[in-house]
Amino acid sequence: TSYHKVLEENRILYNQVQDLKGAIRVYCRVKPFSPGQSNAQSTVDYIGEDGNIMIVNPQKQGKEARKVFSFNKVFPTNVTQEQIYADTQPLVRSVLDGYNVCIFAYGQTGSGKTYTMSGPDLMSEETWGVNYRALRDLFHISKERAEAIKYEVGVQMIEIYNEQVRDLLVSDVPVSCTQDVLDLMRIGQKNRAVGATALNERSSRSHSVLTVHVRGKDLVSNSILKGCLHLVDLAGSERVDKSEAVGERLKEAQHINKSLSALGDVISALAQKSPHIPYRNSKLTQVLQDSLGGHAKTLMFVHINPEVNALGETISTLKFAERVACIELGAAQSNK
Ligand code: ADP
């Protein structure tokens, strides 16, 4: 019967999920050069199937010039949006079994965070990012399980700018199909633009959090399960030259630095199983507190731009990512 099919699916999923629980996964994605940049020099020397990436500094010679970083996975530049999602899918599906999941996009402005999470064009399903694919999947599976479990799905969209949280919708809005979500995203984007001089500028300096709440009622046992998925497009991680930034720009930069380092501190404290997790140090970590740590699962997509003039940011992005992944550089280098 369909109920038994669901139980069997759940059992398989449960085993997959046990592997992921508590672990913090870090995936690295390298932005491809655009067709006009075919002769451009790349700082990415090598991408291994084992999760290693080698960065080269064209201005240095010998051993000094190369640095290896290790992650759970490094995607080749020609990876499709579908392949990116395929690796994320088990985490998303576990939300329907009552797990809390956080998926982050980290990297400097222009490195492809929004491309990964939203995609370049809402009208084209083929290039949809993780957000829409995740919701489409959640609706699809909840329909498949409809005879056994009755699900309700709600979404919330917030922006965190200068340590202020702004609700871009009217709190939690019930949704039942992907079209509902697309309509809401448009409203959210419009609301985000209000009061901002330029949306692009504003969006690179604020964190955007799309939260999906799932409530399922088991029609046989009447028990209720609750799961939650946070899809987070973080503010650009670039360091701002303190001598040049003044006024608003300096304030924004300080808030972004504070919240990204607070996030790094929380994730690395979790990875080290530290007794104190410093959630209260930023709005971002407060908002996500229930979905970071404990039984929750975290995935971070780290983005880099391979252009030579982005080298400094690329190195600091990869260092941050290794800190949250808690992987020792020495171990990776000894493989080479
Ligand atoms: P961010 O959100 O980090 O500021 P974007 O996602 O806006 O960066 O990407 C910057 C530009 O690069 C956009 O024009 C985007 O379409 C393009 N881009 C990013 N990643 C890819 C990719 N994987 N393939 C093709 N174009 C990409």
Domain that holds residue 225: 2-333
pLDDT in tens, 61-77: 888 899 999 999 999 99
Q: What is the DSSP string of 10-41?
A: HHHHHHHHHHHTT-EEEEEEEPPPPGGGTT--
Mutate to test the pocket of ligand 1, among 47, 85, 115 (most ligand atoms within 8 A of CB): 115
What was the pLDDT predicted at 329? Answer: 32
Is the CB of residue 85 below 6 angstroms from any atom belonging to ligand 1? no
What was the pLDDT predicted at 170? Answer: 87
What was the pLDDT predicted at 265? Answer: 92
Query: At a CB cut-off of 8 Å and minimum separation 6, what does 108 contact?
Result: 236, 237, 238, 303, 304, 305, 310, 313, 314, 317
Residue 244: pLDDT over 70: no
Is the CB of residue 93 below 6 angstroms from any atom belonging to ligand 1? no
pLDDT in tens, 173-195: 999 999 999 999 889 888 876 65
Mutate to test the pocket of ligand 1, among 31, 200, 204 (most ligand atoms within 8 A of CB): 31
Is the CB of residue 109 below 6 angstroms from any atom belonging to ligand 1? yes
Residue 1: pLDDT over 90: no
Angle between helices 178-193 and 130-144 in degrees, nearest 10? 150
Closest residue by Cα to atom 5, ligand 1, is: 112
The number of residues making up the chain comes to 336
CATH of the domain at 142: 3.40.850.10
What was the pLDDT predicted at 14? Answer: 58
Closest residue by Cα to atom 25, ligand 1, is: 32
What was the pLDDT predicted at 195? Answer: 55
Number of domains in the chain: 1
Residue 112: pLDDT over 90: yes
What was the pLDDT predicted at 240? Answer: 75
Residue 131: pLDDT over 70: yes
β-pairing, 24-30 with 73-75? parallel
What was the pLDDT predicted at 11? Answer: 61
pTM of the model: 0.90
What was the pLDDT predicted at 3? Answer: 63
Q: Is the ipTM of this complex over 0.90?
A: yes
Q: How far apart, in whole angstroms, are the C-alpha atoms of residue 123 and residue 67?
A: 40
Arithmetic mean of pLDDT over the chain: 87
Residue 328: pLDDT over 50: no
pLDDT in tens, 93-111: 999 999 999 999 999 999 9
CA of residue 285 to ligand 1 center, whole Å: 26
Is the CB of residue 112 below 6 angstroms from any atom belonging to ligand 1? yes
Q: Are 209 and 230 in contact (CB under 8 A)?
A: yes
What was the pLDDT predicted at 49? Answer: 86
Q: Which band of pLDDT confidence, cut at 50, 70 and 90, is reported for residue 239?
A: confident
Handedness of CA 109, 271, 134, 34 (dihedral sign): positive
CA of residue 89 to ligand 1 center, whole Å: 22
Q: How far apart, in whole angstroms, are the C-alpha atoms of residue 226 and residue 236?
A: 32
pLDDT in tens, 194-230: 655 555 667 788 999 999 999 999 999 999 999 999 9
